[in-house]
Structure 1
Amino acid sequence: MNTKGKDILIKFTKQWQLLLGLEVFLYALGISTCMYFLSQNILLSLILFVLVGIIASVIIKPWKPDIKSSSSFLDNQIDLLEYSTGLLLQPWDRHSSLAKLQQLKVSKKVKEAVKEIQPPHHLKRTSIIAVSLIGLGFVLNQLNRVDYFKKSPIPNTTVNPIIFKANDSISNLGEAPKIVEQWVTIGYPKYTNIPTQRVSKMNIKALEGSQLNWELKFDNQIDNVMMQSMENNYPMRLNNASYIWDTTLTNSGFYNFKFEDVQGNSYTSDLYAIEAFKDAAPTIKLQGLNQFTSFNYDNNKIVEFKTTINDDFGVADAYIIATVSKGSGESVKFREEKLNFDNSLKKGTKNTTLSKKIDLDNMNMEPGDELYFYVETQDFKTPKPNIARSETYFAVIRDTTSYEFSVEGTLGVDRMPDYFRSQRQLIIDTEKLIKNRKILSKKDFNFTSNELGFDQKSLRLKYGAFMGEESEIAIVNQENAEVAQHELEQDPNDPLAGYKHDHDSENEHNLVEDKTTKKDEDNPLEAYMHNHDDPEKATLFEESLRTKLKKALNEMWDAELYLRLYEPEKSLPFQYKALKYIQEIKNSARVYVHRIGFDPPPIKEDKRLTGKLEAVKSYRKNETIAQEEAFPFMRQAILTLEVFKTSDALFTDETTAIFENAGNELSTLAVEFPGKYLNTLQQLRWIIDGSQRNAQTYIEVQRGLLMAIPKPNDNPSKTAASVNEINQLLLKELDIHDK
């Protein structure tokens, strides 16, 4: 029965807390806004907002009012409640009949009382203080700005201003004009999303294709302002008392300014550098994928990988180019598809990771088919985007019908004969022998197993020939070397000669050095000979193929052993391993090349097979190609400076052109090495403009040009000289004494 009155008290309490919290907010807002107007620092203003809010909360305590405080406040403010609002907070069942009657009476009066009275607060005072602080900060900010512009009409006094030097110090009688404002506005291409920058430094580093705008303002009236870059002169246009020039950045270089005052005096500034950097192409990195992947026809044929793409200004697009190869030889067919990644690309992001699952079954691939794919991506560069691609990756479904061994790409010719397919036939025959064990007699079974062992040995010997093992002794590995030696020396009439270990033979266990096989270690041609006696040097394959083929030979040894012991079941695993190594050699040696068409020139039928050679003429041409001299104008400038050092020669237009061209050649070097050549380039500009034409400047510029010219390569030539024994002894003695 008392829940309605209690809800009214709860609502009143929340209103009280809200008003106190609003006071805290207004104090923090007023002080932090005032600080922002004074400092123009938003970070400092936010920190001050938090600190003032914490301090005001501790003082005002907006969480302190509760339902009991609201009840006491209403009892003290309204006499009609008869100090009975506390009854609304107690359970109905615990009251006496009189208390219940009083509770109902108070519940009706509280509803009317709350409409007439507000919780205690100082919101009006707080609002006045906050508004006053904000207004004070605004006024001080405006006064500070006006005072700043009155006292400092040059906004870039803290930056090194452009300094001009008079080209003719004699005629410069008055005070030289000075720079009041200097600005360079750099507008990056829109696709970079970089805002326009306005700086006062004249040394510029910007992206290739950016829009550059120079703005110069002088304290006095001047005429004929130009920007000089390399051999070009660009007149700057006057706009609102400022001289302006704009261009599109295409390459790096140097520039300077030149102007004339109203008296006709000419002034030139120092050189400034423009560095243009290119938009780099995206980088691609594939994770969780091998270069070559193979599957059996009954495997889960899925290629799964992740791709990480990075770009300096954002990735525009990324996709997969996949090519499916079907067939072999001249009947091979290619099908190219463009695949998208499983997760969508967020265009414009600088770093992204994409994943892809390629199901070979969904690509309509069959046993023997091959898949070649790579990732390609591009950025937002205009007008032509940068395109990058990854390496090509391979996925193959093993063919169950053909195990032909071939080497492609690493050898000039195909040296693999047809008998390299016989390992598969040996496996089939061994499995057939195991299956027919129950119907064969023991003698026939052992005979067949031994014959298969002999076939395995023959195959091993044929493979060994491609390892450079040209004798039966050389094909064996280290642990079976003695057995192979005795096989050659066995008695052909002795059926057990191939299976016994004779300790009575010559050179037992190699305890006696075999002088007939000793190599001549002092032979100087040893490193250049094709030694057929050493299987490690006589191989026809590169190192990776030779290593795998050697593993296959070792597996054939074990396979032959168990066939000789009449245990074909134990021989099968080694045969399968040998076949696996052979197939890996075949796959690793493949090289994927895009198929391109060839259109031969048409054959004239009337000339075909006539055998006439009258129109066939030999052609011979002798031509002497002269090597172009590097930096010719710099060499001419060195000779010209030598003349000016020794005589009072006059500057002519031809001389100025030589120095201008020499400066252009030197500027190409100064872009890469500004610390070495920038000072020489500046002094050369002073000579051209006439500001410093003295012997000391000529010497320094000549020295700098000599250091910049590369040294010529040595050109050895054959000369005739008389050499006798006495001269040789003399040179030998001199060499000894020098040491």
Structure 2
Amino acid sequence: MALPESIHILQRIRRQYVRAKLWLYALQALAAILVAAAMLWRWQFGAPLLAVTAFAILSTAVLYFILRWRAVSEVTLQHVARHLNRQYPQLEDSTELLLQEPQNLLQKLQQQRVTATLQELHPEQQQAFTLRSSATYTFLGLALLLSVGILYLPAAALTTPEPESIQVEFPEAPVAAADTAAQIQSIDITITPPRYTGKQAYQAKTLNLRVEEGATVTWHIRTSKPAHLQLELNEQSPQAFKQEKEAYTFSRSFTEPGLYTLNLNGQKSAFYTLEIIPDEPPAIQISKPKEYTEIRLGEQQRVTLQASLTDDYGIREANMIATVAKGSGEAVKFREEKIKLNLSGNSRSYNIHQTLDLQQLGMSFGDELYFYLQAWDNHRGYTRSETYFVQIEDTTIVEADFDMTAGVNPVPEYFRSQRQIIIDTEKLLKEQKSISRAEFEERSNNIGVDQKLLRLRYGKFLGEEFESGIGPGGGIPKGAEEHEEETHFEGDGHNHPEFENQNSPEALLDPYLHKHDMEEAATLFEPAVKAKLKGALAQMWEAELRLRTHKPKEALPFEYKALRMLKDVQQSQRAYVAKTGFEAPPLKEPELRLTGELHKITPPSEQKSINQQQELPSTRAALNWLAKYKQTGKYKPADAQLLEKAGQELAEHALSNSGKNLQALQDVRQLITEIRAGKKLCTSCLMAAEQAWAELLPPAKQSPQPGQAVRSRLAEEYRKRVE
């Protein structure tokens, strides 16, 4: 058995370690407890959220200490022995032998040796382990500072403020005792939005309301005594509240803005606004494709659609209406199809990324696609986007309108068009896996023969009347090499030395002659058209080469390019002639002007009387009254009626602009009350009312005034005639 002295040393080290660890964990828990206690001491239960947070911190700190204590209590002498083996190499990793019964003489000798080493090292008298206590002390210091800061914060800084009660102003309140007059004690306004908004009912904070279109507003008012309570909207007949026990209730849905007042026993309150939040229709924004898209030859017959749909309350349905137009002239056929959109996002904002396969829509060369997006929201909103056009380039027009065959025999039936060659090549590539190799090569070679015949057909327009001279780089007919060598050009390339006299008829007609022995002069095409046609023949040659070598996939790009260049040649050969028509001879204005007989022409004798009504008469009268009051400072009780009418005109204007001139209306109401009571009028109210009435009047029309600067005699004459 191990010596008791060695076991005693290990037990002492374990106790030291457990005490140190528990002390650090206690300090960490204490730091969190201090912060929670400071929060409870300062705000107590005035802030429910802070109280819950403080209790959560307390419970977390206690639970943390309990878990750490359990973990430390599980440390055994076996763990201490392993730690000493790592800390002291002199123990030769044999400290664990002290906890075991020796099985042989060798183990017993090793135990004695380890015991002697432990007595020399004395690990229980020095720090045999290290703890990260600096972080714990730092955390505790920060917690102390935070606790002190919380204790010195004002108590109401983080408390939840109580909702302010809604107060009603009565500018015309009579002078009466507070205990005899009925008063409004509390007002609760509940706004219930319509179903299409998806919102819950909520409470209004002020009497100035801003509600959704179609929302239901419910006023719940309590008074100190039974009273007669009414609501007056937009200067219309008042509507009475319903009495329910000790309260009064009025409910109504609104779709238009307005102004309202509360009437308590005949006393009108100040004006309050009722604004309407309109339901906006869905917004559709298409980023791809463009409004007009043309798919050229060789391009993929697909269109990428990228769009975004947004709405203020949510989109109920969205789709695409696509119309395919096939044919031309009077044989055009239309087919309409509804396509479902791939929507991604929430109900208020959708993103669309979709690919339209035109072949699946049954489109071919020359067909057109018209499409637009449409969306419905949860209410009555509907939006339709602009119409977008997608057209697949038609190549049949190239062959039909190619007007360079004047003087040439009609094309035999066995000739293939370039477009037909492309169709045959694409069909061969699709059927390549389903046919044998021999058949594939034979069909590819046959298409190459068709390409050759078509190339020879167009080569005649460039004077290539010999097949041996046709190729990617062009050629010279046989027997013309000597003529080529003897031909030289000087100057700008238009003067030929073979003509001694450049002004002779032969030299002048030389550029316009059709010379079959010279390829460059065999046609009358312009150089640009000739270059494009040569390029098309070169592309045909490359396509023929690959078709003959059984590589139709490599020949397809050259076939498309040849077809595109042929179409460019067709477009460049179009001629535009200006319209001609009858041109009338010029009038002899100086001889005939003002020479007619006017004695039989009499001026019209019809007379009309127009009664012009003055706009806003009460407002103009109120402004005149204000001007007189500023001079005299006197008023009559009957002036209150004048201000009442002017206030009604101001209220009508405020109905269309909710919230504007609201304060001015209250000032006018106060002026009317002071005039009826015989008090001194409020100066600021007079200024505010005058400004509001002045802004209400339309701008005055300008008229010529005497003494103004005149720029010309004509203007002076006009001013005199007007006056």
Taking a change above 3 Å as real, the CA distance of residues 273 and 372 of structure 1, as seen in their structure-2 partners, is same
| Alignment partner of 1:559 out of 528, 535, 554 | 528
| Alignment partner of 1:203 out of 200, 205, 208 | 208
| Alignment partner of 1:162 out of 159, 168, 175 | 168
Question: What SS does the corresponding residue of 1:357 show, helix, strand or coil?
Answer: strand
Partners of 1:390 and 1:315 lie apart in 2 by 15
| Alignment partner of 1:231 out of 214, 224, 235 | 235
Does the 8 Å CA contact 1:634/1:665 hold for their aligned counterparts? no
Question: What SS does the corresponding residue of 2:655 show, helix, strand or coil?
Answer: helix
- Please state how far the C-alpha of 1:215 moved relative to its aligned partner: 2.0
Aligned length: 487
After superposition, where does 1:552-701 map in structure 2 within 5 Å?
559-560=528-529, 562=531, 569=537, 576=564, 579=567, 632=616, 634-635=618-619, 638=622, 648=636, 650=638, 658-659=645-646, 661-668=648-655, 670-671=657-658, 674=660, 677-686=661-670, 696=681, 701=689
Question: What SS does the corresponding residue of 1:306 show, helix, strand or coil?
Answer: strand
- Please state how far the C-alpha of 1:439 moved relative to its aligned partner: 2.9
Is it true that 1:395 corresponds to 2:408 in the alignment?
no
Does the 8 Å CA contact 1:687/1:693 hold for their aligned counterparts? no
Does the 8 Å CA contact 1:490/1:498 hold for their aligned counterparts? no
Is it true that 1:709 corresponds to 2:697 in the alignment?
yes
Taking a change above 3 Å as real, the CA distance of residues 635 and 199 of structure 1, as seen in their structure-2 partners, is closer
For each residue in 1:166-198, what CA deviation from the matched residue of structure 2 results, as whole angstroms up to 9, or x when unmatched? 3555x7797754432122111111232222111
Does the 8 Å CA contact 1:184/1:215 hold for their aligned counterparts? yes
Does the 8 Å CA contact 2:297/2:564 hold for their aligned counterparts? no
Question: What SS does the corresponding residue of 1:61 show, helix, strand or coil?
Answer: helix
- Please state how far the C-alpha of 1:390 moved relative to its aligned partner: 2.2
- Please state how far the C-alpha of 1:289 moved relative to its aligned partner: 2.1
Does the 8 Å CA contact 1:631/1:665 hold for their aligned counterparts? no
Taking a change above 3 Å as real, the CA distance of residues 295 and 643 of structure 1, as seen in their structure-2 partners, is closer
2:194 alignment partner in structure 1 = 189
2:21 alignment partner in structure 1 = none
Question: What SS does the corresponding residue of 2:56 show, helix, strand or coil?
Answer: helix
Question: What SS does the corresponding residue of 2:228 show, helix, strand or coil?
Answer: strand
Is it true that 1:57 corresponds to 2:64 in the alignment?
yes
- Please state how far the C-alpha of 1:437 moved relative to its aligned partner: 3.8
Between the aligned residues of both structures, percent identity stands at: 19
Is it true that 1:357 corresponds to 2:355 in the alignment?
yes
Give me the TM-score of the superposition, normalised by structure 2: 0.52
Taking a change above 3 Å as real, the CA distance of residues 44 and 318 of structure 1, as seen in their structure-2 partners, is farther
User: What's the RMSD between the two structures over aligned residues?
Assistant: 6.3
Return 5+ residue gaps in structure 1 as ranges: 1-19, 73-88, 98-147, 261-265, 405-417, 449-479, 484-488, 500-555, 587-621, 732-739
Q: Which amino acid aligns with 2:313?
A: F
Q: Which amino acid aligns with 1:251?
A: E
Give me the TM-score of the superposition, normalised by structure 1: 0.51
Partners of 2:267 and 2:664 lie apart in 1 by 19
Partners of 1:627 and 1:579 lie apart in 2 by 71
Question: What SS does the corresponding residue of 1:402 show, helix, strand or coil?
Answer: helix
Is it true that 1:369 corresponds to 2:376 in the alignment?
no
After superposition, where does 1:406-421 map in structure 2 within 5 Å?
none
Question: What SS does the corresponding residue of 1:281 show, helix, strand or coil?
Answer: coil
For each residue in 1:149-176, what CA deviation from the matched residue of structure 2 results, as whole angstroms up to 9, or x when unmatched? xxx9xx75x456222233555x779775
- Please state how far the C-alpha of 1:711 moved relative to its aligned partner: 1.6
Stretch deviating more after TM superposition (58-67 or 233-242): 58-67
Partners of 1:396 and 1:304 lie apart in 2 by 14
| Alignment partner of 2:457 out of 406, 409, 432 | 432
Is it true that 1:240 corresponds to 2:245 in the alignment?
yes
- Please state how far the C-alpha of 1:238 moved relative to its aligned partner: 2.1
Partners of 2:226 and 2:504 lie apart in 1 by 115
Return 5+ residue gaps in structure 2 as ranges: 1-24, 80-95, 105-158, 409-416, 419-453, 478-491, 496-501, 513-524, 541-560, 575-605
- Please state how far the C-alpha of 1:211 moved relative to its aligned partner: 1.0
- Please state how far the C-alpha of 1:48 moved relative to its aligned partner: 6.0
Does the 8 Å CA contact 1:637/1:658 hold for their aligned counterparts? no
- Please state how far the C-alpha of 1:248 moved relative to its aligned partner: 1.0
Partners of 2:281 and 2:714 lie apart in 1 by 67
Question: What SS does the corresponding residue of 1:165 show, helix, strand or coil?
Answer: coil
For each residue in 1:597-636, what CA deviation from the matched residue of structure 2 results, as whole angstroms up to 9, or x when unmatched? xxxxxxxxxxxxxxxxxxxxxxxxx998979868546447
Taking a change above 3 Å as real, the CA distance of residues 333 and 492 of structure 1, as seen in their structure-2 partners, is farther
- Please state how far the C-alpha of 1:278 moved relative to its aligned partner: 0.6
Partners of 1:563 and 1:492 lie apart in 2 by 32
Taking a change above 3 Å as real, the CA distance of residues 361 and 441 of structure 1, as seen in their structure-2 partners, is closer
Partners of 1:283 and 1:62 lie apart in 2 by 63
Partners of 1:631 and 1:308 lie apart in 2 by 48
Does the 8 Å CA contact 1:162/1:269 hold for their aligned counterparts? yes
Partners of 2:331 and 2:714 lie apart in 1 by 76
Question: What SS does the corresponding residue of 1:665 show, helix, strand or coil?
Answer: helix
- Please state how far the C-alpha of 1:351 moved relative to its aligned partner: 2.0
For each residue in 1:38-61, what CA deviation from the matched residue of structure 2 results, as whole angstroms up to 9, or x when unmatched? 356458735863675256425641
For each residue in 1:46-81, what CA deviation from the matched residue of structure 2 results, as whole angstroms up to 9, or x when unmatched? 586367525642564177269875999xxxxxxxxx
Does the 8 Å CA contact 2:371/2:387 hold for their aligned counterparts? yes
Partners of 2:189 and 2:74 lie apart in 1 by 66
Partners of 1:558 and 1:276 lie apart in 2 by 71
Does the 8 Å CA contact 1:231/1:660 hold for their aligned counterparts? no
Question: What SS does the corresponding residue of 1:244 show, helix, strand or coil?
Answer: strand
Q: Which amino acid aligns with 2:284?
A: I
Q: Which amino acid aligns with 2:290?
A: N
Partners of 1:214 and 1:228 lie apart in 2 by 13
Partners of 1:63 and 1:179 lie apart in 2 by 64
- Please state how far the C-alpha of 1:340 moved relative to its aligned partner: 0.6
Partners of 1:684 and 1:285 lie apart in 2 by 48
Taking a change above 3 Å as real, the CA distance of residues 299 and 431 of structure 1, as seen in their structure-2 partners, is farther
Question: What SS does the corresponding residue of 2:309 show, helix, strand or coil?
Answer: strand
Does the 8 Å CA contact 2:170/2:268 hold for their aligned counterparts? yes
Does the 8 Å CA contact 1:319/1:376 hold for their aligned counterparts? yes
Partners of 1:359 and 1:495 lie apart in 2 by 59
Does the 8 Å CA contact 1:167/1:686 hold for their aligned counterparts? no
For each residue in 1:375-409, what CA deviation from the matched residue of structure 2 results, as whole angstroms up to 9, or x when unmatched? 1112112xx2x1122222221122221259xxxxx
Partners of 2:640 and 2:390 lie apart in 1 by 72
Partners of 2:221 and 2:275 lie apart in 1 by 21
1:506 alignment partner in structure 2 = none
For each residue in 1:555-606, what CA deviation from the matched residue of structure 2 results, as whole angstroms up to 9, or x when unmatched? x965246489x8885799899469459989x9xxxxxxxxxxxxxxxxxxxx
Partners of 1:623 and 1:725 lie apart in 2 by 32
After superposition, where does 1:285-300 map in structure 2 within 5 Å?
285-296=285-296, 299-300=299-300
Partners of 2:193 and 2:317 lie apart in 1 by 21
Taking a change above 3 Å as real, the CA distance of residues 568 and 188 of structure 1, as seen in their structure-2 partners, is closer
Taking a change above 3 Å as real, the CA distance of residues 403 and 185 of structure 1, as seen in their structure-2 partners, is farther
Question: What SS does the corresponding residue of 1:374 show, helix, strand or coil?
Answer: strand
Taking a change above 3 Å as real, the CA distance of residues 495 and 214 of structure 1, as seen in their structure-2 partners, is same
Does the 8 Å CA contact 2:370/2:388 hold for their aligned counterparts? yes
Partners of 1:175 and 1:332 lie apart in 2 by 87
